[in-house]
Amino acid sequence: MQLYVIKSDITRLKVDAIVNAANSSLMGGGGVDGAIHRAAGPELLEECKSIILKIGTCPPGRAVITGGARLPARFVIHTVGPVWQGGYFREHELLADCYRASLELAEEKRLTSIAFPCISTGIYGFPKQEAVKVVSSLIHSWPWKRSSLQEVYFVVFDDENFELYKQAFPEAL
Ligand code: ADP
C-alpha cells in the first residue's frame, strides 16, 4: 500500500472512493461536505436522503457509502466526525472509528484507492495535531497485507495540516 499526502481539492480526485466529512443528517453542509455535494450534483443528495430514510441518522464514528454521482470518484464514503468538546467525550475514539469504518467499507467493496480529508479539523474544531496522531496510529496498525487498498491519499487543504501529515507519514509520496 502506498500513502500520498497531497494538497488538493478532494472533489477533483479520480480514485475509487473519496471520504466526505459529513454531518449526521447527510444533507450536505459547509466545508468539504458542501464542496462534495456541489461537485457531485443533486443525485448525491437523493442517494443520501434514501439512506437516511432507512437508518434515521448517521451517528459520529459511522460511515455509509454512495455512488459518486458526477464526481470523478466512483464512490463517496460519508462519515460523521466528532465535534470537538475539549477531548472529554470520546472524540479521539470516534475520530479513529470514522477512519476505520471508511476503510472497512472500501475493503468490503474491494476498492483499491481511497482519499481522506482531514475529518473534524474544520468546522468541528478537532485540534489538527491531535487528529493527525489518531490517523497515524490507525493507519500504521492497519492490516494492509489483507487489504484490497493499494493507494491511500490524505488530502490536506492548508499548510498546517500539510506539515503535520508530512511529519506523521514520512513514507508518503
Ligand atoms: P468538519 O465539520 O468535519 O470539521 P470541514 O469540512 O469543516 O469538516 O473540514 C474538514 C477539513 O476539510 C478541513 O481541514 C478543511 O480545510 C478541509 N476541506 C475543506 N474543503 C475541502 C476540499 N474541497 N477538499 C479537501 N479538503 C477540504
CA separation for the pair 111, 55 (Å, rounded): 24
Q: Give me the number of domains the chain comprises.
A: 1
pLDDT of the residue at 138 = 98
Residue in 32, 76, 118, 160 to alter for ligand 1 test, most ligand atoms within 8 A of Cβ: 32
Cell of 150: 493499494
Q: Which pLDDT does position 129 carry in this prediction?
A: 98
Cell, residue 53: 430514510
**How many angstroms is it from 157 CA to the middle of ligand 1?**
7
Query: Which of 6, 13, 157 to probe ligand 1 with, by most ligand atoms within 8 A of CB?
Result: 157
Q: What is the DSSP string of 62-86?
A: -EEEEE-TTSSSSEEEEEEPPPPST
List ligand 1's pocket residues with C-beta within 6 A.
9-11, 21, 31-33, 35, 81, 117-124, 155, 157-158, 161
pLDDT confidence of residue 168: 98
- Residue 173 domain-assigned? no
Q: Is the pTM of this model over 0.85?
A: yes
Q: What local confidence, expressed as pLDDT, does residue 111 receive?
A: 98
Is 7 within the bounds of a domain?
yes
Range of the domain at 144: 2-168
Q: Is residue 46 part of a domain?
A: yes
Cβ atoms of 22 and 64 closer than 8 Å: no
Atom number, ligand 1, closest to the C-alpha of residue 10? 24
What band does 91 get if pLDDT is binned at 50, 70 and 90?
A: very high
User: Is residue 113 included in any domain, yes or no?
Assistant: yes
| Distance from Cα 116 to the centre of ligand 1, integer Å | 10
Residue type, 33: D
pLDDT of residue 56: 97
pLDDT number for residue 16 = 98
Which cell is 22 given?
459529513
Question: How does pLDDT run across 39-84, given as a tens digit for each residue?
Answer: 999 999 999 999 999 999 999 999 999 999 999 999 999 999 999 9
CA of 149 to the centre of ligand 1 (A): 23
Residue 128 lies in a domain: yes
Catalytic status, residue 159:
no
In the set 33, 97, 158, 159, the catalytic residue is 33
- Amino acid in the structure at residue 56: G
165 pLDDT band, cuts 50/70/90, is very high
pLDDT at 103: 98
pLDDT per residue as tens digits for the range 5-22: 999 999 999 999 999 999
Q: Which CATH number belongs to the domain containing residue 22 in this structure?
A: 3.40.220.10
pLDDT in tens, 44-53: 999 999 999 9
Q: How much distance in Å is there from the Cα of 4 to the middle of ligand 1? A: 17
- Per-residue cell: 124: 468541528
Q: Please report the pLDDT score of residue 118 as a whole number.
A: 98
Asked if residue 164 lies in contact with residue 132, where contact means CB atoms within 8 angstroms, the answer is yes
Q: What is the pLDDT of residues 98-156, one digit of tens each?
A: 999 999 999 999 999 999 999 999 999 999 999 999 999 999 999 999 999 999 999 99
User: Can you give the pLDDT at residue 90?
Assistant: 98
Distance CA 85, CA 12 (A): 32
